[in-house]
Amino acid sequence: MQFSKVIGQQQLKDSMIEAVANGRISHAQLFLGPEGNGALPLAIAYIQYLFCKNRTNTDSCGTCPQCQRITKLNYPDLHFVFPLALSKDVEKSSDVFPKWKEAFLKDNYMSLTDWMNFLDAENKQPVIGVGESKDILHQLSLTSYEGSYKVMIVWMAEKMNLVAANKILKILEEPPDKTIFILITESTQLPVTILSRTQITKVPRLTEQEIAAALIKRNGQSPEMAASVARTAEGNYRFAQVLLTEDEDAQFFSKKFQEWMRICLKLDGDKLADWIGNSDNGISTIGREKQKQFLAYSIQTIRHSLLLDKLAISISASDEDFLRKFSPYISFEGGNVIFEELNRAYHAIERNAHPKILFTSLSLKIHDTLAQARRAITA
Ligand SMILES: [Zn+2]
């Protein structure tokens, strides 16, 4: 990872370059700052700059064997420690390093939540446990591959439990020769003894302009969309990415919902089959999590159509246009029947119901309700 791949943080990059040039590299450093600031990719770019054989005075070369291996997190003198969902098979970071590497290479700005989701361990407490300290000592005691520094990056160091923190402190107090520790943390909730042993670098939030530029360059967003997302992202690039996906999802759900209600109203079998499963984005093909989100979106939209003239609700002009035409088909009673059906479907998806069968029967029930309303209107 080159500095040029890290968003913003130019001042810090400059001082890292200077530290390497002067050979003044502290053996115990702490990068402190909020989520989405890019502290982890920055630390890796820094180490790559240190190890690069052809560095310039602005960046590593990106092509020498050292750069190539570090970019793939495949460098024998660079080790990582990170929080885990501990179990009897997983006690230390090296037990799941290939997975962590995969997650990081997929998204250099991943958050701790992203990592736990990646492990399918959303409900577990992420911990850096005591199993690490032995492994750290072992890794650092090995002869360095290049005869140069050995580096240990501890990501989300605030997740160290007390025993692990004490052991790591001991290592920081008497570090093996030519080792560099970089602890990365989002909070100062670390033992004071650790804070006092490390050189602290504050890694600030990104600016709105930096986030906007990154959304255009890395995510291919339009300048307008990038600016709007950057305004709400609070200097957190990871949050900006979440906002973008939500926005894309919202557009997809809105389109899908309008198609669905039109199909239900007329009950067109071929179109329904397409909508459920034969088209590219058939609802049965998008995965359970998204199906649940779509049902939640549908519940919300039915609610909006009942409240359309009663409450100020913030919806887009095209959604409002649709709801104006659609809301006459949603009576208070009918709306409640649909609510209940959508709710039931939501829970059925959680319990692994078959999506094609579920959406077919749900569509028939919604059709019944809408058709009743239509008869009442035309009568
Ligand atoms: Zn290089």
Tens of pLDDT along 272-306? 999 999 777 899 988 888 898 899 889 888 888 88
Q: Pick the residue with more confidence: 287 or 123? A: 287
- Give the CA distances from residue 341 to residues 47, 298, 348, 361, 364, in Å, rounded to whole numbers and listed in that order: 56, 11, 10, 10, 11
Q: How far is the CA of 50 from the centre of ligand 1 (A)?
A: 9
Burial class (CB in 10 A: 0-12, 13-18, 19+), 70: buried
Cα 228 to ligand 1 centre (Å): 37
Shared-domain flag, residues 249 and 361? yes
| Of 180, 185, 151, nearest in space to 165 by CA | 185
Alpha carbon of 4 to ligand 1 centroid (Å) = 13
Distance 64 CA to ligand 1 centre (A): 4
CA of 66 to the centre of ligand 1 (A): 6
Evaluate if residue 368 carries a pLDDT over 80.
Answer: yes
- The dihedral over CA atoms of 274, 300, 245, 156, expressed in degrees to the nearest 10, equals -130
Q: Each residue of 75-119: pLDDT tens digit?
A: 999 999 999 998 888 999 999 999 999 999 999 999 998 999 899
Q: What residues have their beta carbon closer than 5 A to ion ligand 1?
A: 52, 60-61, 64, 67
Q: The pTM is what?
A: 0.75
For residues 314 and 223, membership in a common domain is answered with no
- Residues 78, 47: contact at Cβ < 8 Å? yes
The verdict on 80 and 191 lying in the same domain is yes
Are 252 and 361 part of one and the same domain?
A: yes
pLDDT of residue 312: 63
Q: Identify the domain containing residue 302 by its residue range.
A: 241-378
Q: Dihedral sign for Cα 280, 285, 290, 295, please.
A: positive
What integer pLDDT is reported at residue 311 of this predicted model?
62
2 C-alpha to center of ligand 1: Å? 9
215 and 296 belong to one structural domain: no
pLDDT at 26: 93
List, in order, residues 6 or more apart from 284 with CB less than 8 Å away: 276, 277, 291, 355, 356, 359
Q: Residues 115, 161: one domain?
A: yes
Whole-number Å distance, alpha carbon 54 to ligand 1 midpoint, is 5
| pLDDT (mean) for 131-144 | 82
Q: Are residues 64 and 168 in the same domain?
A: yes
Question: What is the chain's mean pLDDT, rounded?
Answer: 90
Same domain? 280 vs 158: no
- Number of domains the chain contains: 3
Last residue of a domain, one of 217, 235, 253: 235
pLDDT in tens, 299-333: 888 888 887 766 666 667 778 888 888 888 888 88
Expressed in angstroms and rounded, the spacing between residue 74 Cα and the centre of ligand 1 is 14
In this model, does residue 51 exceed pLDDT 90? yes
Compute, in angstroms, the gap from residue 63 CA to the centroid of ligand 1.
Answer: 5
Does residue 226 sit in the same domain as residue 272?
no
Dist. CA 53 → ligand 1 center (Å):
5
> Based on the domain organization, do 185 and 269 belong to the same domain?
no
What DSSP designation does 62 have? S
Q: Ligand 1 center to residue 10 CA distance, Å?
A: 20
Pair (200, 344) in one structural domain:
no
The residues, ordered by sequence, that sit 6+ positions from 13 with a Cβ below 8 Å of its Cβ are: 3, 6, 42, 45
Is there a single domain that holds both residue 216 and residue 347? no
Q: How many Å is the maximal CA-CA distance in the chain?
A: 89
- What is the pLDDT at residue 146? 76
Each residue of 223-272: pLDDT tens digit? 988 998 998 898 999 999 988 888 888 889 999 999 999 999 988 899 99
